[in-house]
Amino acid sequence: MNDRINHELAELWGKLNASFREQRFLAGPRSRFQELYRVLGISYEFIKGFRTFHFLGPCVTIFGSARFLEDHPHYKEAQETAKRLAKSGLTIMTGGGPGIMEAANRGAREGGGLSVGCNIKLPKEQQPNPYLDHWVEFEHFFVRKVMLLKYSSAFIAFPGGFGTLDEVFETATLIQTQKITHFPLILFGSDYWQPLISFLEYTLLKNETISANDCDILKVTDSIDEVEQMISTWAAEAILERSKRKVKPWWWLLEKAPTITSS
């Protein structure tokens, strides 16, 4: 019992310390040595993510609120969506935490697919969920977002808060500026997302801060069948290219191909 308590306290202290380090990093310039040390730490996070996810096949990222419990309708919808996509041969990637992320990873397991996560170190709320085959814990949000995008061929956003909106709008910006192409950005749950679409159409578009075709970047649906159709239509080329990619781990770099954990 004492060992477990000590482990949990050490883990909490590590997360608090990581949060404090990032606060200091974002508060302004530090010494040259401290800035160099931070750059090396960020580079290490990128390398850690690259090594873990380098051998993934076709992948779809699902994200949404960390606060929905398993009896919530959105939890069940995310679980079923991931299950069906996993059965079609897609890897399911999430932010690695609870709520919608847990539901998606759980569905991936049930569908016999690979379930991976990009967890973030936070003092509270975010813990890796128990349905992950492989996961990496990141200290920096921006490194985590690169991983979520780099290895995916589509995004599905279920209802969520600031973090979900951040990921939605960053992805929309990358699509708008053609940094990524043939990349479906699907918003699941029309009742939740329709006010956002109305804001885009009646405020941003009306004031000419976006173009008419920018509104088409976000695809809203309540149908899992439609999600599957959108992904097969819009991301078919990327998925096919990823499927053909055959890269073997190099043993002398201690690399390992991802494996599926038995349910």
Which position has the higher pLDDT, 262 or 207?
Answer: 207
Other CB atoms closer than 10 Å to residue 222's CB: what's the count? 13
Residue 10 resides in a domain: no
**Spatial separation of the C-alpha atoms in residues 244 and 42, rounded to whole Å:** 31
- Is 98 part of any domain? yes
Domain assignment present for 131: yes
Report pTM.
0.87
Residue 11 lies in a domain: no
Is 13's pLDDT higher than 50? Answer: no
Name 187's bridge partners: 157, 220
Q: How far apart are CA 227 and CA 81, in angstroms?
A: 8
Question: Domain holding 171: CATH number?
Answer: 3.40.50.450
Domain that holds residue 89: 47-244
> Which pLDDT belongs to residue 6?
45
Inside any domain, residue 12:
no
Q: How many domains does the chain have?
A: 1
195, two tokens: 């006010």
As a whole number of angstroms, the distance between CA 234 and CA 182 comes to 6
User: Rounded to the nearest 10 degrees, what angle do helices 73-87 and 224-234 cross at?
Assistant: 40
Q: Is residue 224 part of a domain?
A: yes
pLDDT on residue 27: 81
The pLDDT tens digits for 186-241 are 999 999 999 999 999 999 999 999 999 999 999 999 999 999 999 988 877 777 78
Asked whether residue 133 is domain-assigned, the answer is yes
**Distance in angstroms (rounded) separating the CA atoms of residues 136 and 131:** 13
Q: Which of the residue ranges 7-11, 113-117, 197-201 would you say has the lowest mean pLDDT?
A: 7-11
